[in-house]
Structure 1
Amino acid sequence: MIRKKIYNPESKEKTSERRIFGGNPTGIFELNDLKYQWAYNLWEMMLNNTWFPKEVDMTKDVSDYKNLTSDEKSAYDKVLAQLIFMDSLQTNNIIDNINPFITAPEVNLILVRQAFEEALHSQSYAVMVDSISTNTDEIYELWRKDMMLKTKNDAIAQVYEELAQNPTDRNIVKAMFANQILEGIYFYSGFTYLYTLARSDKMLGTAQMIRFIQRDEVTHLLLFQNMINSTKRDRPELFTPDLIDEVYEMFRSAVKLESEWGAYITQGQILGLTDDIIAQYIQYLADQRLHAVGLEKLYNVEHPIKWVDNFSKFNDQKTNFFEGNVTNYSKGSLDFDDF
């Protein structure tokens, strides 16, 4: 597997011959001639979702943070440290590690947009840390010093490192699943703790910032799920039984890792988040992600904290990617009367 050419006038590739990876693109963005319509629909949604951290009022969070218990502060700081790592990783991973091998121009378009959004999220966390926390430097050093966090980060980065060191068809497919897990399990788990504070009328500005961030992450999750499903249709021979077994093991490992992390940061001291609830929620997320790409569920559990879904909802959040109908999100503020 080699990186695509950025200028390839010798290419005679037809639109119908495009592939998510392994194609032969010209390097020209012909956006009136698409193979993957879902990608352009997603591009338009991402543009409609444009927002900036300065839109969120963090004033009340400054005093709220001071009044958190020591356990709540510790968990808040660790969650931020985890989110900082993941968005930092993704900004570089998308541009340097994934996009160079993606050969469908309409997909290149949204990967560039995703990288921008991941960088924007890093700015959001900087705003949160600098305006709220009294130990800014410590939070930014946790990824080095907290061994539980470092172990988790090392595991997340491993699949991306495999692709960087050995860019094969198989490793690109695995990296797509790794992105699905990152966007659809690890991020969701971190957001849930911050929503739990907001449910107790604490850190509402943080919850609003996370709400904007999660709205972006929904599109990132849809991006990789559609990349996986499109590759399955175009190149079914890549999805061998042993690859599928490896994917299932990736999900099992992710569930175990995130469940242990959730128990570690909450220490049984966060109202509404017991170790069992955390584990079941992560299992539920894993099942949802597997089902979205046509794989069997592993856990078959119910959603244990359905209230959390209300926190990430914006008005008119409706999209049909395959029929091409996109409804704009609106930028409302949180209404906690419903929770």
Structure 2
Amino acid sequence: MQDELVHRKKIYNPYSTEGVNDRKIFGGNPTSMFDLNKIKYQWAYDLWKTMLANTWFPEEVAMNDDKRDYHGGLTAQEKIGYDRALAQLIFMDSLQTNNLIDNVNPYITSPEINLILVRQAYEEALHSQSYAVMVESISANTEEIYDMWRVDMQLKSKNDYIANVYLELAKNPTEKNIVKAMFANQILEGIYFYSGFAFFYTLASSGKMLGSSQMIRFIQRDEVTHLIIFQNMIRTLKKERPDLFTSSLEEEVIEMFKRAVEIESSWGEYITQGQILGLTSEVIEQYIRYLADTRLTKVGMPKLYNVENPMKWIDQYSSFNDQKTNFFEAKVTNYAKGSLVDDF
């Protein structure tokens, strides 16, 4: 199969006669009008409504006690780990905000999917604001954390690898590279982010940095919808364009996941140095392998590692749909505004 170039959609296309049933995830010929009385991909419109219902703002999270914890309650290694984990999240949300708007959405030709990608980009930008609130609440020198992606060579090496797939799409927008970018999204949102979140939940489990952990809970709820967006795009493409999913592509995807597991396991060991209670190198690696298997099975691919989740206790911090109380303040909250269905 020839790897076809994909063209950016026109922002004004009055001569298109494309009907709702002719819509494609990419490679279509849309009018670029948002006629949302006609929907082809109902799962996308349902997600749009869920994402709207999940609207929140960083100012809703109390961060008053985190500065005290950071300067008086954390060990030296916990402070280093906090800074590095936060710097990594800052980079990834910054990258993803630009990537979605400039690099992915221009090639997506379904208006209902355009909507949710724009909403996702807004949420990634909101997460950047959330990290700014976190940094400001704990740091006397905010530039130290914001410059870490440049000066910490292990972080820079990891970031270079993460960005490469998206840069390849920008340089060479082919059908194959668009699909690879969709799988890369599963790795970014479902492995790298989740691994970072686990560090903050580990601190919370010992009663530290509770405001930061609550902020991460809001962010993670958004990331669940982001995972579902790209899972559903991949599954839909498997039905509509099975020719794209060659054995060669699947081999490349498997290698992407294997490499991501290696990189994230090494990063987890780097930020913890074996000095964070509950986060040994073995636990970190097994958790990341579990995450990789979970992301693969969600898009119809076989597991690579067949391991159990060694950190099931994290569920009590990360779940919104099943919990109506704030674990950190033991009072009823109003954050479970939308429900999620991981299927279509």
Q: Report TM bin, short chain.
A: over 0.9
Give the letter aligned to residue 40 of structure 2.
Answer: K
1:77-96, aligned counterparts within 5 Å?
77-96=83-102
Is 2:123 the counterpart of 1:130? Answer: no
- Aligned position for 2:64: 59
TM-aligned CA deviation for residue 333 of structure 1: 2.9
Q: Which amino acid aligns with 2:103?
A: N
Q: CA RMSD in A?
A: 1.2
Q: Secondary structure at the match of 2:13?
A: coil
Instruction: Give, in angstroms, the shift of residue 315 of structure 1.
Output: 3.9
2:324 aligned with 1:334, yes or no?
Answer: no
Shift of 1:135: 3.1
Amino acid at match of 2:57: F
Q: CA deviation at 1:64?
A: 0.6
Give 1:321's aligned residue: none
Aligned residues of 1:160 and 1:175 also touching (Cα < 8 A): yes
Structure 1 residue 316: deviation in Å? 5.0
Find 1:44's aligned residue among 29, 49, 70: 49
Equivalent position to 1:139, from 114, 120, 145: 145
Q: Are 1:199 and 1:336, in contact at CA under 8 Å, matched by a contact in 2?
A: no
Worse-matched range after superposition: 128-137 or 83-92: 128-137
Distance across 2 between alignment mates of 1:19 and 1:279: 38
What is the identity, as a one-letter code, of the residue corresponding to 1:7?
A: Y
Picking from 21, 24, 27, the partner of 2:26 is 21
8 Å contact from structure 1 (residues 15, 33) kept in 2: yes
* 8 Å contact from structure 1 (residues 25, 104) kept in 2: yes
Aligned pair 1:252/2:258, yes or no? yes
TM-score by length of 1: 0.94
Q: 1: distance between equivalents of 2:326 and 2:25?
A: 37
213 and 301 in structure 1: CA distance in 2 versus 1, 3 angstrom threshold: same
- 3-state SS, counterpart of residue 59 of structure 1: coil
Unaligned runs of 5+ in 1: 318-329
Give the Cα separation in 2 of the matches to 1:279 and 1:334.
27
C-alpha separation between the residues in 1 aligned to 2:38 and 2:249? 33
Indicate how the Cα distance of structure 1 residues 336 and 260 shifts in structure 2: closer, same or farther if over 3 A, else same: farther
- Among candidates 74, 94, 108, match of residue 114 of structure 2: 108
Q: Which amino acid aligns with 2:36?
A: L
Which secondary structure does the structure 2 equivalent of 1:265 belong to? helix
Alignment partner of 1:238 out of 238, 244, 253: 244
The CA deviation at 1:249 is 0.4
Residue aligning to 2:298: 292
Cα distance in 2 for partners of 1:133, 1:269 equals 22
- Distance, in Å, in 2 between the alignment partners of 1:55 and 1:49 is 13
8 A Cα contact 1:163 1:172, kept in partner: yes
Aligned-partner residue type, residue 248 of structure 1: I
How many Å apart are 1:334 and its aligned residue?
3.0
Residues 259, 278 of structure 1: 8 Å contact kept: yes
CA distance in 2 between partners of 1:335 and 1:239 (Å): 45
Deviation at 1:124, TM superposition (A): 0.4
Residue in 2 that maps onto 1:151: 157
Q: Could you tell me which of 181, 184, 187 is aligned with 1:178?
A: 184
- The residue type paired with residue 135 of structure 2 is V
* More deviation, 308-317/202-211: 308-317
User: Which residue pairs with 2:338 in the alignment?
Assistant: none
- For the 8 Å contact 2:269–2:281, the answer to whether it is kept is yes
Which ranges of structure 2 fall in alignment gaps of 5 or more residues?
1-5, 331-344
Residue among 3, 13, 23 paired with 2:8 = 3
> Is residue 208–residue 334 contact of structure 1 (8 Å, CA) maintained in 2?
no
Q: Please tell me whether the aligned partners of residues 210 and 328 of structure 2 are also in contact (alpha carbons under 8 angstroms).
A: no
Q: Which residue of 1 aligns with 2:313?
A: 307
Q: Per-residue deviation at 1:18? A: 1.1
Q: Deviations over 1:17-71 (max 9, x none)?
A: 2111111111011111111100011001100000000000000111011121110
Aligned counterparts of 2:221 and 2:139: Cα–Cα separation in 1: 24
Q: 1:160 aligns with which of 159, 166, 170?
A: 166
Change (3 A) 1:336 1:273: farther
Q: How has the CA–CA distance of structure 1 residues 169 and 186 changed in structure 2, closer, same or farther, with 3 Å as cutoff? A: same
**Pair 1:240–1:336, CA change in 2 (3 A):** farther
Cα offset for 1:11? 1.2
Describe the superposition over 1:164-212 as per-residue Cα deviations: whole angstroms up to 9, x where unpaired: 0000000000000001110000000000000000000000000100000
* Count of paired positions: 324
CA distance in 1 between counterparts of 2:209 and 2:257 reads 31
Q: Please tell me the residue identity of whatever aligns with 1:80.
A: L
TM-score, normalised relative to structure 2: 0.92
> Post-superposition, which runs of at least 4 consecutive aligned residues in structure 1 deviate over 6 A?
none
